Amino acid sequence: MRLMPLAALGFAVAACTTPGTQAPVPQAVAPSSAVTTDPVRGMAADASAWFSRPRANQPAQAARAIAAIEDLAIEVPQSPHYASRSGTAVTQLAQSRNEARRELGVPASADGTAVARALREAATALDANNRAAAQAALPASIFTAGPAATIQRLSRPPRVPSARSALTSLTLGGGSGGS
């Protein structure tokens, strides 16, 4: 039988490698929270988890969840994987983004990418217990209530009633982009 020599060759090769010589599995292979390869679904699942049970005094988590809404409101309408979906998810995301912006004092005309980036930077600083860096990450030109007031608003937590339904619509069967 020809399988025996192949099996012996496989064992020989395996014996030559040591655990230290095997290539590590890249971090990107396993998403940190959601079990999906679709970044839209993963981001929506992470934000949905927070919005399903928003908690006071967690401004970093609130900032990340709102940054996700900003990112999704930009990404979903442009994503070919979500092009076949009804406009409901897009409309709900836009509504959620508007609600979050009103809560934080962000003008409707603000650049979504800049808003999301500032919120993520503030969240990272808050996680490091660096309030000065968090405030520096939130420019008054975008966060018109001012950096300190924005952090207070993130700590309340912000009320974004449409977020759960918007995010859930993306995590349940969204698009054809894999799961």
Mean pLDDT across the chain: 79
Nearest to 68 by CA among 91, 49, 81: 49
Q: List CB contacts of 8: < 8 A, sequence separation 6 or more.
A: none
pLDDT (0 to 100) of residue 5: 46
> Per residue in 105-156, pLDDT tens?
999 999 999 999 999 999 999 999 999 999 999 999 999 999 999 999 999 9
Segments of the chain scoring below 70 in pLDDT: 1-37, 83-86, 172-179
Give the residue ranges of DSSP H helices in the chain: 3-16, 39-52, 59-78, 88-104, 112-127, 131-136, 147-155, 163-171
Which pTM value belongs to this model? 0.73
* CB contact at 8 A, 178 and 37: yes
pLDDT (0 to 100) of residue 85: 62
* CB contact at 8 A, 162 and 95: yes
